[in-house]
Chains A and B, each alone.
Chain A
Amino acid sequence: MTIDATMVGRSYAAAESYQVGREKIREFAAAIGDDNPAYTGDDAVAPPTFAFMLGSRALEQLLNDEELGLRLDRIVHGAQKFSYTRPIKAGDDIAATATITTVRKAGDVEVIMYETALTTVDGEPIATSTSTISHNRADA
């Protein structure tokens, strides 16, 4: 099957929560070359784009929906936005749910927008991530 506008509204919860660790934050900050002191130590917060990683387990579920027929190696990331309620901190246990919000088709290309809600496992809102991806079905 292939994705179409009738699939807007489908939601995919990450199979497992993501436990944020101090050392993972440090590793991520080092990888983006950011030596901001806020990202190290006992009270470390995560750099803003760390939030994208927290949504990846929900995205995995979305990509595993065979009815959508999406393949990771045919996807290009077109746009990304985050809205933050509070910073992500070491010790947070984060649940992610991705919901398809828009599907547009142009020939072989499907432009899909999905929103990922990031909360603590207790339901405290943390951030919302909005992603736009292009999936190219040519030669599929």
Chain B
Amino acid sequence: MKAISAGEVLPSLTVTFRREDLVRYAGASGDFNPIHWSDRMAAALGLPGVIAHGMLTMASAVRVVTDWLDDPADLVEYGVRFTKPIVVPDDADGAEVTFSAKVDKVADGLAEFDITAIFGGEKVLGRSRAVVRVS
């Protein structure tokens, strides 16, 4: 088990979501909502374009913490709010999202991390928090 103190920051992680990544996530997760692969259906719902699955963003964000842990099983709690959609264009560049995490507090063998997700200069997750067992 790892040790850490309040205020410490974990190495950040930058992930690029391309259309093929959304198609792959749709297949693996069973979430075939067309707003994640059809510009036509996304526009019909008033979205600027195809958006990434919130659960894919959530899965990527927690990697900042689980990459640092010796064992991902030390994660005891993880929650996010989906505050802004990540629009994924149909091109080679895709959408680049950068995740970072900072320890808010450590008490009773548990560390609480605040996770930040930045896309296009803006936060896309709110109240993103992971609680892990530490030594």
Rounded to whole Å, the gap between the CB of B15 and the closest CB of chain A is 6
Whose C-beta in chain B lies nearest to the C-beta of A34? B63
Number of interface residues of B (CB under 8 A): 32
Return 8 A-B CB contacts under 8 Å, by A number. A28-B29, A32-B25, A32-B56, A36-B67, A39-B72, A45-B73, A47-B72, A73-B45
Binary per-residue interface labels of chain A (113-140) against chain B in the complex, 1 for a CB within 8 Å, 0 otherwise: 0000000000000000010100000000
Q: A33-B15, A48-B66 are in contact. Are A84 and B76 (CB under 8 A)?
A: yes
- Please tell me if the beta carbons of B28 and A28 are within 8 angstroms of each other in the complex: yes
A31 & B28 in contact (Cβ 8 Å cutoff):
yes
Contact pick for B55, options A36, A49, A72, A87, CB 8 Å: A49
Candidates A32, A49, A73, A84; contact of B33 at CB < 8 Å: A73
Contact with B along A22-51 (1 / 0, CB 8 A): 000001101111101011000001011100
Q: Report whether over half of chain A's contact residues are helix, strand or loop; otherwise say mixed.
A: mixed
Among candidates B27, B66, B81, residue contacting A36 with C-beta atoms closer than 8 Å: B66
Q: Considering only CB atoms, which chain B residue lies closest to A39 in the complex?
A: B72
Segment with Cβ contacts to B, from A3-11, A75-83, A94-102:
A75-83
Beyond A32-B60, A33-B21, A36-B67, whether A79 also contacts B73 by CB under 8 A is no
Would A84 and B77 count as touching, CB distance under 8 A? yes
The count of residues in chain A whose C-beta lies closer than 8 Å to any C-beta of chain B is 32
B contact residues around A53 at 8 Å (CB): 29-30
Question: 0/1 per residue, B99-135, Cβ < 8 Å to A?
Answer: 0000000000000000000000000000100000000
The 9 closest A-B pairs by CB, nearest first: A81-B79, A31-B28, A32-B59, A49-B59, A87-B73, A79-B81, A31-B25, A31-B24, A77-B54
Interface hits, B54-102 → A, CB 8 Å: 54-56, 58-60, 62-63, 66-67, 71-73, 75-82
Once bound together, how far apart are the Cα atoms of A132 and B45, in whole Å? Answer: 19
Q: Do A38 and B72 have beta carbons less than 8 Å apart?
A: yes
Write the nearest CB–CB distance from B108 to chain A, whole angstroms: 16
Q: Once the chains are docked, how many angstroms separate the CA of A117 from the CA of B116?
A: 27
On chain B, the residues within 8 Å of A56 by CB distance are 30
Bound-state CA distance A53–B37 (Å) is 19
The answer to whether A80 and B80 have CB atoms under 8 Å apart is: yes
